Structure formats: C-alpha cells, structure tokens
C-alpha cells in the first residue's frame, strides 16, 4: 500500500519492541485453507453484520485441530459465533482470545468444509461510515491483519485461498468485491444479492468489498482483463479520468513481468486508512485521490505493481515485507521511467534517498529487521524507499537484461504462492550466475549505507581521488561510478570500493572541469563533507 501522504511527506513513529523474535503468528500445522465463501448481510438501520463463512480445508495428514482468527465480542464491537458446522453437523470448537479452534471428527477425510455462523459490529477491517459526500458506505480495509474483525479466516499471508463474497445489502447499493461478478439478483424484500468469485488464491490482507453508491465504467480490456473505475457519483468524470491510466500501467507490467493473476482490475475510490491499498484485483484509493488532474499516476503504478509483488508472489513472513513494498516502490519507478525517461527514475530516487537519510538518522535499523513482531510496524522508509533503492542497485549490478530475466523467473516460480528473501536471491543467482550473498547481506540485513567523504586533485596527467567511508559499523563493498566532466562532456569510469579508505589514480591528459560521484544514480550513499 501507499501511505496517505507518501507523495509529499510523512512522519512515522517507529517503535522497536522486543529482541530477536520475528513474525510470531501461530500457523496451523496440518490445515491448509483452500477456499472461503463469505455470506454477508448488511443493512441500513444498524452496523451489525450477519455472516456465514464456508471454509474448505485440506489437511496434510490426519485432521488435527486448527484455528481461525476472529475478533470476539467485547463491549459494542466484535463478533459472536453461533454455530460451527462440518457439513451439516455441529463440530467441537472453542472461541476464546479471538481464535476459533475447531477439532475435526476423527473420521474426517482430508478435504473438509466448515461453516461458521456469526454476527456483530466490526470495530475495524470493514469500515462502515459515510463517504465525504455524506453517503453511507461499507469498505473492506484489511491490511495487515484486520480481516479478523469481520471475516473468520487465517489472517496471515502465509495461507492464501480462493475467495467468494455473497453480499446481501439494501438494493440501492452498488457492490464491488475481490473477484469476478458472477451474480446480481434483486430479492423480493428490497435487498440485492451480489456475488463475486476470485479463483486465484488471495491473502486476507488484500481481500475487500466496496458497498456504496458508485459510478462505474469499463476503462479498457487489457489482454481480456477488464480494467474498471468505481468512483463516487459526485466524482464521476474526474474519477474516470484520474483512474484511466490504470490500463497503461497494467499493460506495462504484464508485458514486462508476466501474466496478471486475478479476474479483473477494479480501481475503487474508497474509505481507507491508506493512500492506496493494493487489494487483489480491486484496489482502494483514498477518497481525495480524485482531483481530475491526473495526479495519482505514481500511486496507481505502486498499487498495480503490488498485484505481482505482495499479492501474487507474497512474502511468507511479515519481516520480509520488502518483497512487497520495496518491489512496488521500485516497479512504480520503472513504469514511470518507461513513460517519462531515465530522468524520472533519477528524480524519484533522489526524493527517496532524502527520506532514507532522515529515517536512518532516527532509526538505524536494517531493511529485514527481525526485532519487529507487530506487522503494522514493518512498514517504514526501509521497507519501501530503501528496499526500492536496493532493487535499483541490483539492476545495475546485473544489467537490465539479466535483472528483468531474474524478475520474470522469480514471478513465474512464485506466482500465486509465497516467498522469502532467500528464494528471491536464489532465483537471481541462478539467472545471473553471480554469487549475491554479500550483496544481500550488506543491503538487506545490515543497517545504513556508505557515508562517503572524498576529494580529488590533478597532478602530472593523473586524477588523484581519495575515497573514505565514514560509518563505523560496516565497510560496504560496491562499485562506484566516477563522472569526469571535461569540456562539457561526461565520461564515466567505475571504481571498486572495498576498503575503509583508499586513494585511486586515474590517468587523464588534461585537468577535468569537475568530478561527480555516481552521476547516473546507481548507488545509495551519502556524501559527507
């Protein structure tokens, strides 16, 4: 996702909790969720929802007890469970501490379907509110682990499943949700049933519904994938105009990375706590993203990039969220580079670099920070901007051809699945034939970046160049491009830096007019005086 003001500036309060702990989610040992069907009834008189979740589970051995997340009722909010069935029989279950624990009967076969009947008022996850135009609306806003407020589920991205929503709501609402619309029926009591089904496995963090009055329009079909805009009727023409770039972005990523994984690509104006939330095939953009001035192309590119990275090839563990956010950040830059040229890449990376320096001053931590246990805290300048910079450096290290081949191979191997940083590294090593251990260690698992103090002189047909790394905790190893400016012409020569301090000599006939470090923006470093 994109933070609400990430395009301008944002303040991030970052608290590091605990010691080495990592993602602490308790995974089910033998149950693998295959599909969810969520039957939900919404109404206008209260914020209470009535739900029945039909959950098909594969057991990899003899069926053992397994758990689903659901926030239980306390005070006004939370869910009450009334029944849990296996087929049509009540099963043993407990519902405590926001976990439904189900014990399958011992004669259960390996694939079983459970039904959980529940109701209550969700405090979060399903945002029941009014739009900025004062109209009642319901929007799913699950990232990272808010699905459990309204959908009984394994609310962690390691276990993805196909999704079907069957939404019953007063008939004046338009309904959009994850998946392809397969039914819309007016019932005889003033309600309407709308069904959406997504066969591809989806993580609960990116499952959504939008129930509001919408103006909706097909923007274009891109390789048979309908690209649509769903906006508030008050914003109809501006919204259609702002979101129409989505079809260009989709085409760029399909052409360069690989096939799109979902039934459709809806772009939805929504109530979301984020600037954008990359819900699979049904992206939410914050209400004020619509201006009619086409100002959100970068945001749209970021959220669409997530459909490949984060949604389809999904981090298996919250501490590896850079595989989602760093990729979305850099692939949005790659898209913009393809449209506006290389200067755009440099501009975006320069803005990101500034944020990285500021953030590092307050939070000296690595991109993969195993001390973080709360998924909300994995979002930072490190996992977005710095991780984007790491991909920029990896691209330069391998060259464009091998970088893109590696990206395509990684996506092909982990499409609709889960991956860790080591999986990505393995693919890039296989494709490039290069050992990337040191690169991954220093850029992803080590804090900081080279802080370089340097000067140069010219003497007897040689440039003398002193390069010193000032940071104490680690000596980085990297290629450094030196731009030599003579008579308005730029020549680039590359030095390999692997010591704390070194003087290099570069032979040249005449004294250059200027020397610049890294003129093409391929290295994350800070120039120090």
Nearest CA to 282 out of 302, 255, 307 is that of: 307
Q: Which is nearer to Zn ion, 35 or 324 (CB)?
A: 324
Q: Which is nearer to Zn ion, 242 or 325 (CB)?
A: 325
Q: Which is nearer to Zn ion, 1 or 391 (CB)?
A: 1
Q: Which is nearer to Zn ion, 325 or 369 (CB)?
A: 325
Q: Is 200 within 8 Å of 312 (Cβ atoms)?
A: yes
Which residues share a beta bridge with 114?
55, 86
Q: How far is the CB of 21 from Zn ion (least distance, A)?
A: 24
Q: Which is nearer to Zn ion, 264 or 302 (CB)?
A: 302
Q: Is 257 within 8 Å of 407 (Cβ atoms)?
A: yes
Give the other-Cβ count within 10 Å of 116's Cβ: 25
Q: Is 371 within 8 Å of 20 (Cβ atoms)?
A: yes
Query: Which residues, 6 or more positions from 518, have their beta carbon under 8 angstroms from its beta carbon?
Result: 480, 481, 483, 525
Q: How far is the CB of 6 from Zn ion (least distance, A)?
A: 9
Which residues share a beta bridge with 115?
54, 85
Q: How far is the CB of 273 from Zn ion (least distance, A)?
A: 13
Q: Is 381 within 8 Å of 389 (Cβ atoms)?
A: no
Q: How far is the CB of 2 from Zn ion (least distance, A)?
A: 5
Q: Which is nearer to Zn ion, 214 or 322 (CB)?
A: 322
- Dihedrals phi, psi of 111, to nearest 5 degrees: -110, 120
Q: Which is nearer to Zn ion, 274 or 440 (CB)?
A: 274
Q: Is 322 within 8 Å of 369 (Cβ atoms)?
A: no
Q: Which is nearer to Zn ion, 274 or 410 (CB)?
A: 274
Q: How far is the CB of 392 from Zn ion (least distance, A)?
A: 17
What dihedral angle (degrees, nearest 10) is formed by the CA atoms of 296, 302, 304, 306? Answer: -160
Edge to edge, the sheet with strand 126-130 lists 126-130, 136-140, 209-212, 174-177
C-alpha–C-alpha distance, residues 230 and 239, integer Å: 8
Q: How far is the CB of 427 from Zn ion (least distance, A)?
A: 22
Q: How far is the CB of 136 from Zn ion (least distance, A)?
A: 28
Q: Which is nearer to Zn ion, 309 or 476 (CB)?
A: 309
Q: Which residues bind Zn ion (CB under 5 A)?
A: 1, 325, 328
Q: How far is the CB of 1 from Zn ion (least distance, A)?
A: 4
Nearest CA to 62 out of 112, 22, 124, 17 is that of: 112
Tokens of 254: 């399909």
Q: Is 519 within 8 Å of 481 (Cβ atoms)?
A: yes
Nearest CA to 49 out of 116, 121, 108 is that of: 121
């Amino acid at each position: 996702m994109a933070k609400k003001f990430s395009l301008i500036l944002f303040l991030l309060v970052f608290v590091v909790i605990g010691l080495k702990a990592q993602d602490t989610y308790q995974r089910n040992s033998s149950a693998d969720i295959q599909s969810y069907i969520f039957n939900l009834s919404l109404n206008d008189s209260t914020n209470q929802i009535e739900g029945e979740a039909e959950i098909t589970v594969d057991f990899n051995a003899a069926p053992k007890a397994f758990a689903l997340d659901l926030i239980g009722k306390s005070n006004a909010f939370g869910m009450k469970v009334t029944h849990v069935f296996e087929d049509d029989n009540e099963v043993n279950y407990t519902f405590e501490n926001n976990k439904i624990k189900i014990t399958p009967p011992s004669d259960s076969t390996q694939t079983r379907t459970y039904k959980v009947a529940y109701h209550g008022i969700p405090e979060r996850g399903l945002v029941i509110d009014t739009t900025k135009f004062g109209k009642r609306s319901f929007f799913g806003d699950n990232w990272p682990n808010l699905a459990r407020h309204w959908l009984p589920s394994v609310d962690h991205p390691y276990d993805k499943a196909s999704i079907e929503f069957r939404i019953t709501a007063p008939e004046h609402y338009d309904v959009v949700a994850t998946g392809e619309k397969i039914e819309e029926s007016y019932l005889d009591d003033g309600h309407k049933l709308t069904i959406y089904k997504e066969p591809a496995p989806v993580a609960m963090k990116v499952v959504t519904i939008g129930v509001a009055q919408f103006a909706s329009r097909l923007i274009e079909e891109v390789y048979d994938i309908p690209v649509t805009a769903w906006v508030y009727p008050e914003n109809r023409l501006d919204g259609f105009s702002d979101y129409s770039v989505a079809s260009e972005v989709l085409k760029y990523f399909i052409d360069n990375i690989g096939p799109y994984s979902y039934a459709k690509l809806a772009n939805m104006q929504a109530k979301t706590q984020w600037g954008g939330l990359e819900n699979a095939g049904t992206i939410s953009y914050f209400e004020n993203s619509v201006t009619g001035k086409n100002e959100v192309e970068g945001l749209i590119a970021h959220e669409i990039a997530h459909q490949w990275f984060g949604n389809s090839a999904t981090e298996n563990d919250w501490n590896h969220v850079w595989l989602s956010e760093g990729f979305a950040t850099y692939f949005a830059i790659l898209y913009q580079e393809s449209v506006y040229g290389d200067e755009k890449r440099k501009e975006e990376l320069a803005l990101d670099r500034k944020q990285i320096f500021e953030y590092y001053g307050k939070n000296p931590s690595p991109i993969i920070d195993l001390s973080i246990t709360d998924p909300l805290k994995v979002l930072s300048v490190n996992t977005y901007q710095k991780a984007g910079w790491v991909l920029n450096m990896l691209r330069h290290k391998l060259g464009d051809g091998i970088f893109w081949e590696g990206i395509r191979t990684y996506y092909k191997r982990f499409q609709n699945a889960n991956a860790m940083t080591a999986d990505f590294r393995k693919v890039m090593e296989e494709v490039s034939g290069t050992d990337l251990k040191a690169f991954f260690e220093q850029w992803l698992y080590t804090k900081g970046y080279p802080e370089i103090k340097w000067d140069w002189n010219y003497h007897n047909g040689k440039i003398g160049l002193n390069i010193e790394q000032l940071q104490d905790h680690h000596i980085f190893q990297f290629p450094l491009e030196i731009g030599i400016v003579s008579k308005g012409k730029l020549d680039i020569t590359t030095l390999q830096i692997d010591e704390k301090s070194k003087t290099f000599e570069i032979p040249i006939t005449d004294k250059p007019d200027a020397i610049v470090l890294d003129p093409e923006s391929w290295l994350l470093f800070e120039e120090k005086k």
